[in-house]
């Protein structure tokens, strides 16, 4: 049996990178006072149709939809934003103008052609902030994404920033854009012509090479923004400068989903070929209204974890921590004696490996060395008879036998040898905590 096309196992070697991202992101999100939200993987199909937009790639060709036994049309979520908007309304989380700062991490599903950086099951880390349309919030959430990417050391990413205005401004701009693209209709195939009629904005960030030259001469959306939208965009840029976040304004950036207004942004890299966006987001002040509730100001972003990991691997190598303590038992009949050490080790969060192979002590010691353990606890026939255990320091090679009247003395024995180092380096290097 094989996993389903486009859906991958995440094996232990890979998991280290996931944990690393999780840990760094969590620290930054905690500091910014964000809280985790988890929503179901399955939602009503109509939720996505109404929010993401019928003419988008996701709805027109990428959704995993099926009917359940009661003939409900259900969908494996293609993204997190719509589900969280539903949850906000369903649980009245923004009652009395309360703000909500939420983060999520989980699998998303899109029926796309699998390739490097593009799977059918992929994962996103994202944040959603509800309850304010202040441009400082736009800058702050971008700053959070930027901080996470910088702290992760994933190489150079460039922040592209744009404003797509409100729906009225966008409509006017769309019309102008349509007229512009229609001038080139002779050179374009039917699919592109249909997009010109249905949603010309979508063509602006098209990856189609024959469109590049045409797009470069297209009208600029910023000329269609009114005072409010222009001021909002100017302030976002000002605040980003205050936060020392480098960015470049990219008037061709429109994003692939329909619910955005005003600020949109993407963090891009040139290390991943065409799958070049690591994180994308924007403002969506009318999303809750589109799915049947009151309008609530909101803004957020989503980060593709698999793409991020491809980048990370170019820059850092995360290795598994070795076990600190290797427990070698000469005769497995006495393994119960060895097991009694485990609660003591666990109390100090040290990593251990207990050898159940029954092979010779020499072989077990070789394995302990190979695994780069710091010490090997040896339980031989003699230790059992005398109620002792032997601690062998693997790097230095010396060993000493201790009475096991109290196993509790075990870790202090290790600690006293390495005094200062124990709490800092050694503890960090061998602890089971990240
Ligand atoms: P793309 O243009 O690459 O299709 P998108 O605009 O569809 O991206 P978003 O909906 O903005 O992507 O999702 C946010 C992020 O999630 C993307 O920037 C990307 O890092 C990641 N992502 C999106 N689709 C996939 C996928 N099929 N496989 C892996 N990662 C993905
Ligand atoms: Mg896509």
Q: What are the structural domains, with CATH classification, of the chain?
A: 12-165+225-315 (3.30.930.10), 325-431 (3.40.50.800)
| Rounded Cα gap, residues 300 and 281, in angstroms | 6
Query: Measuring from atom 15 of ligand 1, which residue has the nearest CA?
Result: 304
Distance 246 CA to ligand 2 centre (A): 25
Three-state secondary structure call for residue 94:
coil
Ligand 1 pocket, residue 6 CB under 6 Å: no
CB of 304 closer than 6 A to ligand 1? yes
What CA–CA distance (Å, rounded) separates 85 from 106? Answer: 16
3, 82, 305, 348, 415 from 123: Cα distances, Å: 16, 16, 6, 34, 41
- Is 118 annotated in a binding site? The answer is no
* Phi, psi (rounded to 5 degrees) for 337: -65, -45
Locate 37 and state its tokens.
Answer: 């939200």
Beta carbon of 268 within 6 Å of any ligand 1 atom: no
Residue 79 annotated as binding site: yes
Q: Would you say the CB of residue 278 lies under 6 angstroms from ligand 1?
A: yes
Q: How far apart are CA 102 and CA 120, in angstroms?
A: 25
Residue 405: burial class (beta carbons within 10 Å; 0-12, 13-18, 19+): exposed
Joined together, the tokens standing for residue 176 give 């102008």
Most ligand 1 atoms within 8 A of CB, residue of 80, 269, 307 to mutate: 307
Q: What is the DSSP string of 395-415?
A: TT--EEEEE-S-GGGHHHHHH
pLDDT of amino acid 431:
64
Predicted local confidence at residue 406, as pLDDT: 65
- CA-to-CA dists, residue 89 to 84, 239, 287, 289, angstroms: 9, 30, 11, 10
CB-based contacts of 363, cutoff 8 Å, min separation 6? 357
Residue 259 annotated as binding site:
yes
CB of 256 sitting under 6 A from ligand 1 = yes
DSSP string, 308-343: HHHHHHHH----PPPPSEEEEESSGGGHHHHHTTHH
| 283 DSSP β-pair partners | 261, 299
Q: What angle do CA 241, 246, 248 make, to 5 degrees?
A: 105
User: What pLDDT does 7 receive?
Assistant: 98
Q: Residue whose CA is closest, atom 28 of ligand 1?
A: 118
Residues 6+ apart with CB under 8 A from 180: 217, 218, 219
126 lines ligand 1 (CB under 6 A): no
Q: How far is the CA of 74 from the centre of ligand 1 (A)?
A: 21
Which numbered ligand comes closest to the C-alpha of 307?
Answer: 1
- Report DSSP state, residue 423: I
**239 marked as part of a ligand binding site:** no
Q: Is the CB of 114 under 6 A from ligand 1?
A: no
The tokens describing 261, both together, are: 């207004």
pLDDT at residue 434 in the model: 47
Q: What is the pTM of this model?
A: 0.92
CB distance 264 to ligand 1 below 6 Å = no
| Residues in the chain with pLDDT values less than 70 | 405-407, 418-434
Contact 99, 130 (CB under 8 A): yes
Residue nearest atom 5 in ligand 1 by C-alpha distance: 256
| Rounded CA separation 240/65 (Å) | 40
143 annotated binding-site participant: no
Atom of ligand 1 nearest to the CA of 303: 15
Q: What is the dihedral of CA 361, 362, 368, 369, to 10 degrees?
A: 160
User: For residue 428, what pLDDT is reported?
Assistant: 64
Question: How far apart (Å, rounded) are the C-alpha atoms in residues 297 and 285?
Answer: 4
Would you give the DSSP letter of residue 25?
H
Only one residue has tokens 């800092």, namely 424
pLDDT score of 211: 86
Q: What is the DSSP letter of 303?
A: E
| Structure letter (DSSP) for residue 82 | H
Kindly state if the Cβ of 155 falls inside 6 Å of ligand 1. Answer: no
CA dist 430 → 15, 48, 323, 399 (Å): 18, 46, 6, 20
CA distances (Å), 59 to each of 56, 87, 279, 298, in order? 6, 21, 20, 22
| Rounded Cα–Cα distance for residues 211 and 189 (Å) | 11
For residue 61, give the DSSP letter.
I
Strands 64-67 and 73-76 turn out to be: antiparallel
How far, in Å, CA of 263 to CA of 163, rounded? 5
Integer CA distances (angstroms), 366 to 313, 328, 353, 376, in order: 31, 10, 13, 10
Backbone φ, ψ for residue 318 (5° rounding): -100, 120
């Amino acid at each position: 049996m094989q996993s389903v096309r486009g859906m991958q196992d995440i094996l232990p070697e890979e998991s280290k990178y996931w944990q690393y991202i999780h840990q760094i992101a969590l620290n930054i999100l905690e500091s910014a006072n964000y809280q985790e939200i988890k929503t179901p993987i399955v939602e009503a199909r109509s939720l996505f149709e109404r929010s993401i937009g019928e003419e988008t790639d996701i709805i027109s060709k990428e959704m995993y939809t099926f009917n359940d036994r009661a003939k409900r049309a259900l969908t494996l979520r293609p993204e997190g934003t719509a589900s969280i908007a539903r949850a906000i309304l369903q649980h009245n989380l923004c009652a009395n103008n309360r703000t909500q700062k939420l983060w999520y991490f989980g699998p998303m599903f899109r029926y796309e052609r699998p390739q490097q950086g593009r799977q059918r099951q992929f994962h996103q880390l994202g944040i959603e902030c509800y309850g304010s349309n202040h441009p400082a919030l736009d800058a702050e959430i971008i700053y959070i994404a930027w901080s996470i990417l910088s702290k992760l050391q994933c190489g150079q990413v460039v922040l592209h920033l744009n404003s797509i205005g409100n729906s009225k401004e966008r409509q006017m701009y769309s019309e102008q854009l349509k007229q512009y693209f229609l001038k080139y209709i002779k050179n374009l195939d039917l699919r592109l012509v249909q997009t010109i009629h249905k949603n010309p904005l979508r063509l602006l960030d098209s990856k189609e090479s024959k469109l590049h030259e045409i797009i470069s001469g297209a009208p600029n959306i910023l000329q269609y923004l009114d005072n409010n939208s222009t001021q909002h965009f100017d302030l976002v840029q000002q605040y980003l400068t205050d936060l020392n976040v480098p960015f470049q304004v990219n008037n061709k950036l429109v994003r692939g989903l329909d619910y955005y207004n005003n600020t949109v942004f993407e963090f891009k890299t040139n290390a991943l070929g065409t799958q070049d966006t690591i994180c994308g987001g924007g403002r969506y002040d009318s999303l809750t209204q589109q799915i049947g509730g009151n309008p609530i100001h909101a803004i957020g972003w989503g980060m593709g974890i698999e793409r991020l990991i491809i980048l990370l691997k170019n820059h850092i190598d995360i290795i598994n921590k070795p076990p600190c303590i290797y427990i070698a038992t000469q005769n497995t009949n006495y393994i119960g004696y060895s097991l009694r050490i485990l609660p003591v080790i666990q109390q100090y969060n040290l990593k251990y490996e207990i050898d159940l192979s029954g092979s010779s002590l020499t072989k077990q010691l070789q394995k302990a060395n190979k695994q780069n353990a710091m010490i090997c606890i040896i339980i031989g026939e003699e230790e059992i008879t005398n109620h002792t255990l032997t601690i062998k320091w693997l790097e230095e090679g010396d060993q000493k036998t201790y009475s096991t009247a109290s196993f509790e003395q075990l870790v202090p024995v290790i600690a006293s040898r390495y005094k200062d180092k124990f709490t800092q380096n050694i503890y960090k290097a061998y602890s089971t905590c990240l």
